[in-house]
Amino acid sequence: MKVVILAGGLGTRLAEETEVRPKPMVEIGGLPLIWHIMKIYSSHGIRDFVVALGYKGEHIKRFFLDYSAMSASLRVSTADGSVEYLGNASSGAREDWSVELIDTGLETQTGGRVRRLANVIGDERFMLTYGDGVADIDVTELLKFHETHGKLATVTAVRPPSRFGGLVFDGEKVGEFSEKPQIGEGWINGGFFVMEPRVLDYIESSETILEKEPLERLARDGQLMAYKHDSFWQPTDTLRELQILRSLWDSGTPPWKTW
């Protein structure tokens, strides 16, 4: 099964980082965000990826072109430029992934990017997510849920993390200060979709925003189901949210590290 990763947006709300690189290439623990997302899937045995490129897509191409070389010991012949791989440079094995890097246009909307991948997706079920968020989601259970209901699409529903510290009062005194997720808030689209190929019929053009008419129509047609994920989920829309992920990684026990 293939996983489509939408990685072509401008990332304007994270301009401090995205002026020089696309958002999926911002680093957490020395590795780009897109690598962390792919590790979530590959920890469940899913290793076939299609990356929908747009804004500064060359940075993502360069990372994957260099990935094997940068994670291995090498013998290089300066006479003819030949390279011999001598093994891993570190104790960890290199990832066994197949990654298709497809240019889907600079201005193309999210639905349009999926539509432009029709020939790559083919007639097979596929997974889809955004290149800017991580979660401790059980991808295997998500897929099982999708298989049980028989509808065209499953969206992972999440509760948005708090953007501010929550306060609990004891009179005028703060009795509790918490940065925990706002459990009282409603469910939102957290990405991590499973889709049947017929979903492409709901996408009309490159200007189609996936989160508008296609998903709205699927819902009206009774073809969109929600897999409720009530655990860790974190996007990187702002520098503060990126710093949260970096701090969690530096703690040694990042919640999304399921591998």
Residue type, 27: E
Residue 256 in any domain: the answer is: no
- Express each pLDDT in 115-172 by its tens digit: 999 999 999 999 999 999 999 999 999 999 999 999 999 999 998 876 655 555 666 5
The whole-model pTM stands at: 0.88
Cα-based torsion angle of the residue sequence 70, 138, 182, 34 in order, rounded to the nearest 10 degrees: 20
What's the token pair of residue 70?
């940068």
Residue 222 in any domain: the answer is: yes
Residue 255 in any domain: the answer is: no
Q: Which CATH number characterizes residue 222's domain?
A: 3.90.550.10
Residue 116 in any domain: the answer is: yes
Could you give the percent of the chain with pLDDT greater than 70? 88
Residue 212 in any domain: the answer is: yes
**Contact predicate 52/7, CB 8 Å:** yes
Separation between Cα atoms, residue 52 and residue 110, nearest integer Å:
9
Angle at 244 between CA 172 and CA 137, to 5 degrees: 110
Residue 259 in any domain: the answer is: no
Residue 14 in any domain: the answer is: yes
If one counts every other C-beta atom within 10 angstroms of the C-beta of residue 111, the result is: 25
More confident residue, 88 or 147: 147
Say which residues have a Cβ less than 8 Å from residue 37's Cβ, sequence separation at least 6. 5, 24, 129, 131, 133, 134
Residue 54 in any domain: the answer is: yes
Could you give the percent of the chain with pLDDT greater than 90? 71
Separation between Cα atoms, residue 216 and residue 189, nearest integer Å:
12
Count the domains in the chain: 1
How far is CA 211 from each of CA 70, 117, 163, 216, 217, rounded to the nearest angstrom?
37, 17, 22, 7, 10
**Contact predicate 152/218, CB 8 Å:** yes
Q: Which domain holds residue 195?
A: 2-250
